[in-house]
Amino acid sequence: MGVPNTFATQTGTIPLSELDVNFSTPITIGSTTIALGDSGLVPLADGVSGVLGVNHGGIGSSAAGTAGQVLISNGTTFGPGNLTAGANISITGGTTIAASGATAGTGVNINAGAVNINTSQTVAGGSHITLTPTVGSPNFYINAGSGATTLDINPATESFQRLTVQFKQGGTPQTLSFGSTVQQGSLTSTYVATTTPNHSDFLTFIGQGATWAFVGVSPDFNI
C-alpha cells in the first residue's frame, strides 16, 4: 500500500504537512493496520499461518513436546526430544564418551578427560589375582572364595591414583597377602584379614607408576 505523497520527482519547497499526511497514513501488515508514525508494535504471529520454517527464523515444528525435553535438530528442522547417548549427543574435538566397567561394573568414562563415574568391579579371590585400575579410581569388591588370596595391582593410570578394595570373607575366612606391586608401611605391615565369617575389610591404596602403597584399612565390617 503506497503513501499519498511522493517526493522523488518534486522540485521546490515540500510542505511539511505532506510528510505529516504520509506518516499518518495507515498501512496493513498481515492482518494488522498501523500508521507509519505510530509507535505500536506489530505482533509477530499476525499474518503467519502454519509452521515458521528454519529459513525464516523459525524452528520448523509446531510440536509442544513434554516436560524435560529439549529442542533437537535433525539437520532440517528442530523438534522436542530426549537426549540419547549414541543417537543425538555428539562431542567434537577428539573427546569420546564410552561405557566403562569390568565383570559386574558399569559406568561412564570420558576418555582423556577429568570426569569419571565408575561403579564397583567384582573379582573372585582364592588365588593370585591382579587388579587393573581405570581412570577415575574405581572400587573393587573381592569375594575371598575358598582359598588364600594374593593381591597385585597393575600400574596406576594417573598420578596419586586412589583405589578402594572391599575384601569380603565367606563362611570360612581366608587369608589375604600382597605381591611385589604393593608396598606396606609401618602401620599396615601387620595387617591380617578379618577372621569373622561374612565380614569385610576396606583397604585403601595409592598408586604411583607400577607401585601401590597400602596406606590404610578399616577392618571387620558386617557388610
Domain ranges of the chain: 118-221
Least confident of 24-38, 103-117, 170-184: 103-117
The pLDDT value given to residue 136? 64
> Does the pLDDT of residue 120 top 60, yes or no?
yes
> Does the pLDDT of residue 115 top 60, yes or no?
no
- Widest Cα–Cα separation across the chain: 114
CA-CA distance, 72 to 5, in Å (whole number)?
50
* Mean pLDDT confidence for 200-213: 95
The pLDDT value given to residue 96? 46
The pLDDT value given to residue 101? 42
The pLDDT value given to residue 107? 47
- The model's pLDDT over 18-71, given as tens digits with 9 standing for 90+, comes to 878 877 778 776 667 777 666 555 555 555 667 777 776 677 777 777 777 777
Burial of 142 (0-12, 13-18, 19+ CB in 10 A): buried
Cβ neighbours, 10 Å, residue 54: 14
Cα–Cα nearest to 157, from 193, 118, 189 = 118
Using alpha carbons only, give the angle 136, 192, 208 rounded to the nearest 5 degrees. 30
Global pTM reads 0.50
The pLDDT value given to residue 88? 54
